[in-house]
């Protein structure tokens, strides 16, 4: 009985986890960084990008199950393309401005442009003694 409960707990803990992560490329320019993510089959309404730190980008979303041409679900015989929730945390080469982020989705590729921050974000403050 304990084994069964442990298996159920393990299964339940995995339900909320992302099931895959898109492949990314990072291109660094002098004043901006561009992140390209492969997300074929993902619509604009199924993806979200946000800065989780001055130099870290999070891409999350969902790729839904494929439907057959008649609108129903056909039996899957073989599947290599992941489906379900995804998450990718992308470390950026420098701090970026949260107000100057643009994203474009075209032909299954997400392009995110982030401008270099003009002033570094203060995460800590130095206190000088007398």
Contacts of 34 (CB under 8 A, 6+ apart): 26, 27, 111, 112, 113, 114
Q: What is the pLDDT of residue 109?
A: 96
Query: pLDDT value at position 25?
Result: 97
Whether 51 is covered by a domain: the verdict is yes
Q: The CATH number of the domain where 59 resides is what?
A: 2.60.40.790
3-state secondary structure of 42: coil
Q: What is the mean pLDDT of each run of 10 residues along the chain (130 residues)?
A: 65 67 95 96 93 94 74 73 91 93 94 88 51
Count of domains for the chain: 1
Interatomic CA distance for residues 55 and 52, integer angstroms: 8
Report pLDDT for 77.
Answer: 78
Q: 108 lies in a domain?
A: yes
> Residue 33 belongs to what H/E stretch?
strand 32-38
Q: Can you give the residue range of the structural domain that contains 102? A: 18-65+82-116
Q: Assign 89 to helix, strand or coil.
A: strand
């Amino acid at each position: 009985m304990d084994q069964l409960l442990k298996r159920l707990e393990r299964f339940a803990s995995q339900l909320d986890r992302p099931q895959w992560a898109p492949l990314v490329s990072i291109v660094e320019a002098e004043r901006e960084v561009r992140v390209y993510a492969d997300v074929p089959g993902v619509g604009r309404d199924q993806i979200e990008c946000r800065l989780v730190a001055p130099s870290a980008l999070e891409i999350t979303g969902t790729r839904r199950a494929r439907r057959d041409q008649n609108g129903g679900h056909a039996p899957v015989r073989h599947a290599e393309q992941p489906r379900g929730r995804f998450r990718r945390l992308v470390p950026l080469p420098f701090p970026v401005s949260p107000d100057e982020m643009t994203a474009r989705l075209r032909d299954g590729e997400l392009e995110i442009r982030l401008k270099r921050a003009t002033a570094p974000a203060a995460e800590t403050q130095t206190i000088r003694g007398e």
